[in-house]
A and B are shown apart, each in its own frame.
Chain A
Amino acid sequence: MTVEEFRGSVGVSNEIDRFPIGMRVLAVDDDPTCLKLLDCLLRKCEYQVTTTNQARTALKMLRENLNRFDLVISDVHMPDMDGFKLLELVGLEMDLPVIMLSGNSDPKLVMKGITHGACDYLVKPVRLEELRNIWQHVIRRKVESKSQSKSNNNQEKPNHEGGQEAGSGDPNGKVNRKRKDEDEDFEDNGNEDDDPSTQKKPRVVWSIDLHRKFVAAVNQLGIEKAVPKRILDLMNVEGLTRENVASHLQKYRLYLKRISQQANMVVAFGGSKDVSSYMRMNSLDALGDFHSLSGSGRLPNAQLSSYSSSGMLGRLNSATGMTLHSLTAPTLIQPTHTQNLTGSVSSLNKFQPVVLPTPPNYQPTNLFQGIPTQFDLGQLQQNNKPNTQLPDFNPVDESRFFNGSSTFPTLGSQSCLNLVSSSSTFLDIPQSMGENFHDQLPPHSSLNYGHASSNNMITNTMTGFGSDITSAPSLPLEGQGQSQSQSQRHAQYGKQSYGQYSSNTFSTLAAAASPPNGGGLGGPVSQSNDQICGVYNKSNGNGPLPMQMNKQTHKSNTKLKMGSGENYLPSGFVANSYDSMDDLMNGMMKREQDPMIAMDGEFGFEPYSFGSCI
């Protein structure tokens, strides 16, 4: 980036052309003597200086106008706030270079400054010559972020492909890899200082709370009308930029899409009705229909999403609906540790809380087109023909995904759970199914059911969900005519696998899958390969799942923080990318075992079923 470009990108300043002259510096130091001295020195360098002796005031000024300053210089020892904390906050929220200042040259402090993201550390008394050079940090940052965004674009693709191929590979590895990629991909999202990504970029961390606000705002505006600017206004969060919201929104949309797809798939799978673990799954009679549905071939991808809707929806209501439209709450998937199906059920319970709030205005109509608005099981059940159902779900078309979403609003967490359970049935789809699916699955679906073990895993994790997931992928296959076998398998596995998967998987799946699918599954099931992988990611990654999924499928993948394995609801949206069911399952299992790892950066929300989808 040339200096000219940089100047152009610098905020409003009459002196842009003469950069570094006129660079806007904010100096923070509680010692008035030092502050005055610093002020004078900076003015000598012909910078535009603003001083304050309070860290809080400094933050306030920075948040008021993100473009007001180019650089921040801050003392380390301050009474109202630790200099390092201020450093972190500024880095995260504003992505501005921060220079630390201290009378202490202790290397430990210098190291601390570096790890917290300071771009320089000066020792008092500061000399004029040192200050004359600080403008380099501003330019460097701009250059870095520019090149990073470029590289991110390039990275996404390879990752995606890699994820899909990996399939049965090393789920953890994949998850990790994806996660890393995702981290790098996301520029807008919060990035921790010790993030493994190559460059530190302060990002907005989409905490659950923040995400909730976001979803609430989106719902309020209506998904079609939700534009970043208005969402931003509604959210009314300090330090959030329109760009942050825009990227999050993008991910969210992707997530919704995926969920709907997954839901279709899940529904399609219908699968074994004996999602024993999931009581709710009972309502999954429709699932049985899935078999037939799957035959329709429409199932693929889309089917999955419908799946959840059809059978489970009845019960799940919330599940599908939630994932789709509510996305807000990761209600769905609480990465519980359901060790077995039964366990998973309980995990499902956990999911409940997650239930995505159904925004009153949220009419993800476009989403679930395929999915019958009423994912009531009743409906589904009535339609014994999976085909009919499926078409309803329209899982095939991603765009139609969210028809069901309309129903979702009503779905409470319950539904989600239900879905989960249904999903579990899906997961039941034995690996064999997975294998089949594998072949049949659309190339982009990353569901690799190939791994028999994974099936189990999947089921375990998902407990109910898992099955769904498996089924989800199988849905497409079923469509291809395998439905029968699948359903059978489903039944077989239904129970067994669930046990295996800890709730984590489930949660992840659930998360991934999107609520309808019981969480993770829904997500991943989504047609896009990514989605599926996404779900799986969850299971594998313990956390990074959601993120990964997102990453793969969409740049914006919501990085759901799978965070605490237990509660991680792949709210975000597991669907991001399944490398394979295995991964998903693994992820889920792992998730259970490990505390949810917040997927760093992007979407920190844990319980969000939809985490990162935006």
Chain B
Amino acid sequence: MERNQMHTQVANTRKSLFDQGYLDDQFIQLEELQDSSNPNFVEEVVTLYYRDSARFLSNLDQALEKRPLDFSKLDNLMHQFKGSSTSIGAKKVKTECTHFRNYCSARNAEGCKRTFQNVKKEYTTLRKKLEAYFQMSRQVGPVETACQAR
């Protein structure tokens, strides 16, 4: 029962991530790739994502400090970050990235900076939620998590 409850809890958490738009179908793809030969695939990928993102975000931070702003460089950096985010299905983060890039093309410095803050915020939120989710899943058992269909 506790176990069942935990399962349910995990399932619910997962569902809410989708419902709230933090994750999209791509995440499901990742989950589908997880199997016995790759038991922790999703978590591994997400961990990679964190590491990568930290780098991107700090680069973007630095680039935004410069005056004048190098929009094409910003755009490039953000493009990469967006690519990573898309790969794991980080929906909200991806959306904010798109906004950022739009402002970049419009060469709107203020818009860029503002959006970038949003990006960071979304990223942080997502990360927290995912970390909690994975932790919970681990407690329950990986098999259970993988079997949970959306």
Contacts and interface: CB of A to CB of B under 8 A. Distances in A.
Contacts of B26: 125
B84 A40 contact: no
A277 to B, nearest CB: 55
A33 B79 contact: no
A360 interface: no
B99 to A, nearest CB: 15
- Please classify how large the interface on chain A is, using the bins under 10, 10 to 19, 20 to 34, 35 or more: 10 to 19
B79 A103 contact: yes
A125 B87 contact: yes
Interface residues of B, number: 23
B145 to A, nearest CB: 17
A78 B84 CA distance: 13
Interface in A1-44: 30-34, 36-37, 40-41, 44
Given A41-B33, A125-B26, A128-B29, A33 B76 contact: no
A34 B88 CA distance: 8
Contact of A124 (B45, B51, B83): B83
A32 B51 contact: yes
Interface string B27-54: 0011011000010010011001101100
Contacts of A31: 52, 80, 83-84, 87
Contacts of B14: none
Interface in B77-121: 79-80, 82-84, 86-89
Given A103-B79, A125-B26, A128-B29, A34 B87 contact: yes
A104 interface: yes
A213 to B, nearest CB: 39
A77 interface: yes
A108 to B, nearest CB: 14
A127 interface: yes
Contacts of B33: 37, 40-41, 44, 128
B38 A33 contact: no
Nearest to B27: A125
Contacts of B29: 125, 127-128
A105 to B, nearest CB: 11
A100 to B, nearest CB: 13
B26, B33, B51, B52: residue with the most chain A Cβ atoms closer than 10 Å: B33
Contact of A33 (B32, B41, B45): B45
28 contacts: A30-B80, A31-B87, A32-B48, A32-B51, A33-B45, A33-B48, A33-B52, A33-B84, A33-B87, A34-B87, A36-B44, A36-B45, A36-B48, A37-B87, A37-B88, A40-B33, A40-B38, A40-B41, A41-B33, A77-B76, A77-B80, A77-B83, A103-B79, A124-B86, A125-B26, A125-B29, A125-B87, A128-B29
Given A33-B49, A36-B48, 14 more contacts: A32-B51, A33-B52, A33-B87, A36-B45, A37-B30, A37-B33, A37-B87, A37-B88, A40-B33, A40-B45, A77-B80, A77-B83, A124-B83, A125-B87
